[in-house]
């Protein structure tokens, strides 16, 4: 995941990436939290999450990829995008996804799928959020 300064308020800020899976009644539970990243172009290290942990074996179960700005003792959400494994698997390279930001609301094409690689045992997605 790469984030560029075109996202309002994130250039040279400490950022954290959190991936959360959907629970019942609109609740979310984190399944991954990145190390802090910072810079003019912020790149998070690739992460590996089991399908069972991310979606309990259900490709239609939603998950959120969230970007947070680290403040002194707290995290402030910059925004997120919502998807599931079926949508990402069926997506074509260059396809856009909606991004939601507390500051700017819903952005129709803030997230772009750059590459994808699907094999029997793994799925790899490279997503760019520079258009946010």
More confident residue, 79 or 117: 79
Tell me the pLDDT of the chain averaged across its residues. 81
Are 117 and 124 in contact by the 8 Å Cβ rule? The answer is yes
DSSP string, the chain: -EE-TTSTT-TTS-EEEEEEEE-GGG-EEEEEEPPPB-SSSEEPPP----HHHHHTT-TT--EEEEEEEE-SSSEEEEEEEEE-HHHHHHPPTT-EEEEEETTTEEEEEEEEEEEEEE-SS-EEEEEE-TT-
Instruction: Check whether 110 has a pLDDT greater than 80.
Output: no
CATH number at residue 13: 2.60.40
Lowest mean pLDDT among 3-12, 32-41, 58-67, 117-126: 3-12
Report the pLDDT value the prediction gives residue 4, as an integer from 0 to 100: 56
Q: How confident is the model at residue 70 (pLDDT cuts 50, 70, 90)?
A: confident
- Region of 66 on the Ramachandran plot (φ > 0 left; ψ -120 to 50 alpha; else beta): beta
pLDDT one-digit tens code per residue, 3-56: 555 566 666 788 888 999 999 888 999 999 988 887 666 677 778 888 888 888
- Averaged pLDDT, 87-95: 87
For the ranges 9-13, 83-87, 104-108, the one whose mean pLDDT is highest: 83-87
Query: Which pTM does this prediction carry?
Result: 0.82
Question: Which residues constitute the domain of residue 59?
Answer: 2-128
Tokens of 33: 């939290």
Structural domains of the chain, count:
1
Instruction: Give exposure, 92-117, as e/b (b: 16+ Cβ within 10 Å).
Output: eeeeebebbbeeeeebeebbbbeebe
Predicted local distance difference test score (pLDDT) of residue 42: 67
Distance (Å, rounded) from C-alpha 66 to C-alpha 108?
16
pLDDT at 61 over 70: yes
């Amino acid at each position: 995941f790469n984030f560029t300064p075109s996202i309002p308020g994130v250039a040279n800020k400490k950022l954290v990436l959190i991936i959360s899976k959907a629970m019942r009644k609109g609740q979310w539970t984190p399944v991954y939290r990145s190390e802090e990243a910072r810079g003019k172009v912020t790149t998070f290290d690739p992460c590996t999450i089991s399908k069972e942990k991310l979606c309990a074996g259900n490709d239609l179960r939603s998950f959120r990829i969230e970007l947070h700005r680290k403040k002194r003792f707290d995290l402030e959400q910059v925004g997120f995008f919502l998807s599931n494994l079926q949508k990402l698997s069926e997506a074509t390279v260059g396809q856009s996804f909606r991004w939601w930001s507390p500051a700017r609301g819903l952005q129709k094409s803030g997230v772009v799928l750059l590459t994808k690689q699907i094999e029997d045992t793994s799925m790899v997605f490279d997503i760019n959020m520079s258009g946010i």
